[in-house]
Chains A and B, each alone.
Chain A
Amino acid sequence: MWRPFAVAAVVAGHVLLVTLLPPDKAEGWSAMAGLLFKAAAAAEGLRAAFALGRGDYLRDYWLAMGAAFAMLALADAPAIMGVAGQAASHHPARFLLLVAGNALSLYGAARLALAVRSTGLDFEPARRRHLTGAIFVVIAAAVVGAALRRELPLALAAHPERWADVFSYVCDGLVFVLMVPVLRFAVHLGGGRLAGIWWALFGANACWLLFDATGALALDSSASGPTLAAGEGFRALACLLTALAAWHQRDLVASARTARVAAASA
């Protein structure tokens, strides 16, 4: 129960630091924290994957998420290397890591969305499902469209590294749309223990789209400082909610294992 509060406290502390520190120090802290948050999500994702058994449906999901966050963390490494990182930040390997990391998170989201469908559980009439899907598509198209209007001209104007950003925005939009069945399932899980995992995963993936939205807002609004601070918060939440979901998943397996051993020895 304390874990969501710990995540909220870390995110609030991070946003406060980014807001209060002088700009040069805030930039350094932001880069370091971004890498640490992604590394935490990668580590917890992989631990959740290895807690599950070989052949378990969600093991592949957690393997994909662990690998995706590890790649995204590695791609962030040049930002904390100072002058030495300048060359590395434009190395093609960094863009490959960004593209592969985003592709893996898209694969993971599709796998999660298909989990609900594969079990045959059907909670709502088709009309309501389609309406929710349409709302999510409109939101994703608005945010990704704004980002692409900014990034595409740059990518086309001989900045090939921007194609990795374009790909990442498209993936964030698609992942958000794939969260429709995840949200529906989380709502129907009510107060069950599994709900914590699915709410955290929905929140994490929604936060990536909100992070993209703050990037567009910061450029278009006069209040760019608060908007960028909100973006920092959403990025931290996206990573830490994934780590939280993975922790819950591992905890669930561990407690079931303990209960099974206790029942066998009783």
Chain B
Amino acid sequence: MAIHLQVQARLAPLLGRKTAEAAVKLSARTWLEREVDAVGLPELPRLCEGLRPMLTTFLGAEVAAGLVESILREVR
């Protein structure tokens, strides 16, 4: 499965499908300056760093850190 779809799948239980898609798309465009379907495994850490501010705002730093760690650990 594509990297961005795996990341979206891990965000969706918390943020819902639409918001997870919007968040990943925004992070890819802002932090990687590319479309989501062009994101590969080497860009995953930067994609996650792009997601972190939004996750921290809505969930708090601790929940956001846990989520980012699980994405980095599980997405292959």
The residues of B with any CB-CB pair to A shorter than 8 Å are 12-20, 22-23, 26, 30, 53-54, 56-63, 65-67, 69-70, 73
Complex alpha-carbon distance, A119 and B25, angstroms: 13
A58-B19 contact given A119-B53, A194-B14, A263-B73, CB 8 Å threshold:
no
Q: Smallest Cβ distance from A47 to chain B, in angstroms?
A: 14
| Chain B CB within 8 A of A121 CB | yes
| Chain B CB within 8 A of A53 CB | yes
Q: In the assembled complex, which residues on chain A have CB atoms less than 8 Å from the CB atom of B19?
A: 121, 185, 188-190, 192
- Of the stretches A140-148, A207-215, A233-241, A249-257, the one at the interface is A249-257
SS class, residues of chain A in contact with chain B: helix
Q: Smallest Cβ distance from B9 to chain A, in angstroms?
A: 12
| Chain B CB within 8 A of A115 CB | yes
B22 touches A253 (CB 8 A): no
Complex alpha-carbon distance, A192 and B70, angstroms: 17
B22 touches A192 (CB 8 A): no
Name the CB-closest residue of B to A257: B62
Q: In the assembled complex, which residues on chain A have CB atoms less than 8 Å from the CB atom of B62?
A: 52-53, 253, 256-257, 260
A120 touches B30 (CB 8 A): yes
| Chain B CB within 8 A of A55 CB | yes
| Chain B CB within 8 A of A195 CB | yes
Complex alpha-carbon distance, A58 and B56, angstroms: 9
| Chain B CB within 8 A of A123 CB | yes
Complex alpha-carbon distance, A259 and B69, angstroms: 11
A256-B67 contact given A57-B57, A118-B57, A121-B23, CB 8 Å threshold:
yes
Name the CB-closest residue of A to B23: A121
SS class, residues of chain B in contact with chain A: helix
| Chain B CB within 8 A of A24 CB | no
| Chain B CB within 8 A of A220 CB | no
A252 touches B59 (CB 8 A): yes
Complex alpha-carbon distance, A259 and B63, angstroms: 9
Q: Smallest Cβ distance from A121 to chain B, in angstroms?
A: 5
A192 touches B56 (CB 8 A): no
Q: In the assembled complex, which residues on chain A have CB atoms less than 8 Å from the CB atom of B23?
A: 119, 121
B26 touches A263 (CB 8 A): no
| Chain B CB within 8 A of A91 CB | no
Q: Smallest Cβ distance from A27 to chain B, in angstroms?
A: 42
Interface centre among B12, B14, B66, B70 (most CB of A within 10 A): B66
A56-B17 contact given A119-B53, A121-B26, CB 8 Å threshold:
no
| Chain B CB within 8 A of A125 CB | no
| Chain B CB within 8 A of A159 CB | no
A263-B70 contact given A120-B30, A189-B19, A192-B12, CB 8 Å threshold:
yes
Residues of chain A in range 34-87 having any CB-CB distance to chain B below 8 Å: 52-53, 55-59
Q: In the assembled complex, which residues on chain A have CB atoms less than 8 Å from the CB atom of B17?
A: 190-192
B61 touches A193 (CB 8 A): no
B60 touches A52 (CB 8 A): yes
